[in-house]
Amino acid sequence: FQHCFLIQGKRRSNPDQDKKRSSNEPIEVVKPKSYSKSEVAEHNKRNDCWIIIKDRVYDVTPSVEEHPGGDAILV
C-alpha cells in the first residue's frame, strides 16, 4: 500500500503580507496530504484530473485540454 503526496501549485508571495510579517515571525509549514493510488484514480475527469509522477500527485485539471495525448491522460 503506497501513498503519494499532493503537490499544490506554488503560492505567489503577497508583498503587502510580507511587509506586515516581522522577520522573527515563524512561517507556517504545512505537511503535504497523503493519498493512496486508488484515491488518485478517482480523479480522472476533465474537470478533476490528478496524475502521479515519481510518487507525487499533481492536480493537472487546468492543463487537461492542452494535453497532447488527448483523453489518454484520463485513463
Q: What domains are there in the chain, each with its CATH number?
A: 34-68 (3.10.120.10)
Q: How confident is the model at residue 12 (pLDDT cuts 50, 70, 90)?
A: very low
Specify the higher pLDDT residue, 70 or 36: 36
Is the pTM for the entire model greater than 0.85?
A: no
Average pLDDT score over the chain: 76
Q: Which amino acid, 44?
A: N
Q: Which residues of 46-66 are buried (b: 16+ CB within 10 A; e: fewer)?
A: eeebbbeeeeebbeeeeebee
Specify the higher pLDDT residue, 42 or 65: 42
pLDDT of residue 6: 64
pLDDT of residue 39: 92
